[in-house]
Amino acid sequence: MCGIVAYLGPRDAVSVLIDGLKRLEYRGYDSAGVAFLNEGSLKVLKKEGRIAALEEQLNSHKWNSRIGIGHTRWATHGRPSDVNAHPHLDCSGKFAVVHNGIIENYGELKASLEKRGHHFVSETDTEVLAHLVEEAYQGDLCAAVRSVLRQVRGSYALAVLSEHEPGKIVAARKDSPLVLGVGKGEFFLASDIPALLPYTREVCLLGDGEVAEISGDGFRVLNGDGVFLTRKTFHVDWDQEAAERGGYPHFMLKEICEQPRALRETLGGRLTPDGARISFEKLGLRPEVLKSFQRIFIVACGTAYHAGLVGKYVLEKLARIPVEVDLASEFRYRNPILDQQTLVLVISQSGETADTLAALREARHRGCQVLAVTNVVGSSVAREADHVIYTWAGPEIAVASTKAYTTQLLVLYMIGLLFAEARETIEPEEAAAIVAHLKVLPEKVEMILEERELIRELADRYSCCKDVFFIGRGLDYAVALEGALKLKEISYIHAEAYAAGELKHGTLALIEKGVPVVALATQEELLEKMVSNIKEVKAREGVIISVCCGEKREVEEASDHLIRIPDVPSFVTPILSVVPLQLLAYYMAAARGCDIDKPRNLAKSVTVE
Ligand code: M6R
């Protein structure tokens, strides 16, 4: 949570900071602030609300600054307010700190600082850092920050600016992301790479526990013991356009529409030359290793967890290996039964989700091999896992995850095929047929997107409803869960998903005249049962919006509205059937005038527990 930026160089620092914060606003958006040196003196401006409010305040004055730090906040300690916004200052007002993460021992640190005469103005954990730096400072900002970090417990990405050393920024990270961008005679810090792309493509990733010092002379990186490290930059060739809205009203719609490309790129380059088999170059999991696993644990949060639920069906069906799926926040505290024959598969778009990262560490600590599926190169999850498979979805900016989900599903199908081949649970012809179906999915998604006007009409019609239910069986149930999450997180409509067969065990009591029920009916072998469940809802005067695959007369007859997705085998429908649900959520939220890309109370990357 929270976004950090910093700049040092010849440009107008305030403009660079504001621009960077806007690009990071998805990480948190309840307040924002900047600290910069204006003709040598430290200025701090911060404001509750969106970055636009801060920008307006800054625009009322002409600044002359070449160095500064900035922050966009998602509140953890202390409610959103001007005073709790970052940067935070020490008592002398000479040290400014921005921070993303949580200082776990801030209570005890604050109490002892107060005893020593420090005066606190905010309710945040971060403010202790500013006071600690003030105490530790003896003419070397970098040394002071390192000494402070030895006293704190928790997670942090931080940047410190001081009037005492006007040409320098000191930064550090542990368990929270921070990247350093290197331009010609200028340096940038940001919580993610896309925020740097308009300025530089040369990036240096800071490791856990490392401290960086940037100045007009260059940058240097030290480890916790003060040993200088050799750090090379690497070139990022992401398309900057991909990190911008490109004419779409919202990132979410843009990202929904990018799915055909994202799927093509995720599959492309991972096929054998004859196009019949999956092959992940550089993946260290050889067939004999794959064969040695007796069980798979899929661990993730939110949408990535829902992808994992589909993954369970896929892996169990293709490779006949038992799969358990767990929420990362539960996994880490429930002492799961793990051994060396268990593969732990973590899924995370951002690769920075605190619970997922903690689960990964727990699994490795228990001797398991960890395979990560992530979208962000160089993210913490990617760096700490034993093996990594990237989803090539490109930057996902909207808080609601869309293209990350479908590409995660695709990767899970590919992993299923790898396992199945290694475990000899699939005939080559059957595997080739599945690969052929995966290859045409991007075109099929395009077909659904072309029909999106129909979904918009439906969304407009039901946008005022209070509750929506999603039902499905088998793979459709896993997708229903994702559909309900999409709707509630961006439209604030109460939405719940149920295994259709469970309705009669309680939920049916909630169905009354006019309640919309989205019924996923794409699973051929479960169709009859699903039609019966649809009829149960109809009999209670619920409104049925069905999603089915190709022509299905029995579903059509039982439904009030029908969304048809292209005809594909039931086994691969999730990658298609979720798309109308994403669009439905998007258009319902749009009709209600919601802030779609930045829904209330949420943030894109959840880097706190
Ligand atoms: O970056 P991650 O995939 O680890 O994020 C996990 C969840 O926080 C994320 O999927 C969240 O549920 C989304 N807002 C859902 O759209």
Q: Is 604 assigned a catalytic role?
A: yes
What distance in angstroms lies between residue 576's CA and the mean position of ligand 1's atoms? 20
What distance in angstroms lies between residue 466's CA and the mean position of ligand 1's atoms? 24
Q: Which of 2, 257, 368, 594 is catalytic?
A: 2
Identify whether the C-beta of residue 383 lies closer than 8 Å to the C-beta of residue 281: no
The whole-number average pLDDT for the span 492-501 is 95
What secondary structure letter does DSSP report for 24?
A: H
Of 26, 17, 392, 16, which Cα lies nearest the Cα of 238? 392
What distance in angstroms lies between residue 110's CA and the mean position of ligand 1's atoms? 33
363 lines ligand 1 (CB under 6 A): no
Of 153, 154, 152, 132, which Cα lies nearest the Cα of 144? 132
Q: How far apart are CA 372 and CA 348, in angstroms?
A: 8
Q: Mapping DSSP to helix (H, G, I), strand (E, B) and coil, where does residue 333 land?
A: coil
Least confident piece of the model among 360-364, 502-506, 563-567: 502-506
Q: How far apart are CA 286 and CA 254, in angstroms?
A: 37
397 lines ligand 1 (CB under 6 A): no
pLDDT-derived band of residue 162, with 50, 70 and 90 as boundaries?
A: very high
Q: Which CATH architecture has domain 2-244?
A: 4-Layer Sandwich (3.60)
The whole-number average pLDDT for the span 532-551 is 93
pLDDT-derived band of residue 608, with 50, 70 and 90 as boundaries?
A: low
Identify whether the C-beta of residue 23 lies closer than 8 Å to the C-beta of residue 243: yes
Of 397, 411, 553, 569, which Cα lies nearest the Cα of 475? 569
Q: Name beta bridge partners: 218.
A: 215
Query: For the chain, what are the domain ranges?
Result: 2-244, 254-439, 449-591
Residues 51-106 have pLDDT tens digits of 999 999 999 999 999 999 999 997 778 888 999 999 999 999 999 999 998 898 99
Q: How far apart are CA 570 and CA 382, in angstroms?
A: 32
Alpha helices in 25-93 (DSSP H): 51-59
- Same topology for domains 2-244 and 254-439, yes or no? no
What are the tokens at 131?
A: 């006071």
The whole-number average pLDDT for the span 516-537 is 95
Torsion sign across C-alpha atoms 28, 29, 31, 34: positive
Residue 470 predicted with pLDDT over 80 = yes
The whole-number average pLDDT for the span 196-201 is 93
Residue 168 predicted with pLDDT over 90 = yes
Q: From residue 9, how far is each of 13, 40, 186, 198, 214 by CA, in Å? A: 8, 14, 4, 15, 10
Q: Is 594 assigned a catalytic role?
A: no
- pLDDT for the residue numbered 243: 62
Q: Which amino acid is at 343?
A: L
- Residue with the larger pLDDT of the pair 401 and 280: 401
349 lines ligand 1 (CB under 6 A): yes
Identify whether the C-beta of residue 203 lies closer than 8 Å to the C-beta of residue 180: yes
Least confident piece of the model among 75-79, 204-208, 500-504: 75-79
Q: How far apart are CA 178 and CA 425, in angstroms?
A: 43
Q: How far apart are CA 110 and CA 118, in angstroms?
A: 9
Residue 455 predicted with pLDDT over 80 = yes
What distance in angstroms lies between residue 302's CA and the mean position of ligand 1's atoms? 5
Q: How far apart are CA 114 and CA 417, in angstroms?
A: 60
Q: How many CB atoms lie within 10 A of CB 564?
A: 19
| Ligand 1, atom nearest to 302 Cα | 12
pTM of the full predicted structure?
0.74
Residue 181 predicted with pLDDT over 80 = yes
CATH of domain 449-591: 3.40.50.10490
350 lines ligand 1 (CB under 6 A): yes
The whole-number average pLDDT for the span 562-568 is 96
Q: How far apart are CA 394 and CA 568, in angstroms?
A: 26
Domain 254-439 sits in which CATH superfamily?
Glucose-6-phosphate isomerase like protein; domain 1 (3.40.50.10490)
Q: How many CB atoms lie within 10 A of CB 34?
A: 35
Residue 238 predicted with pLDDT over 80 = no
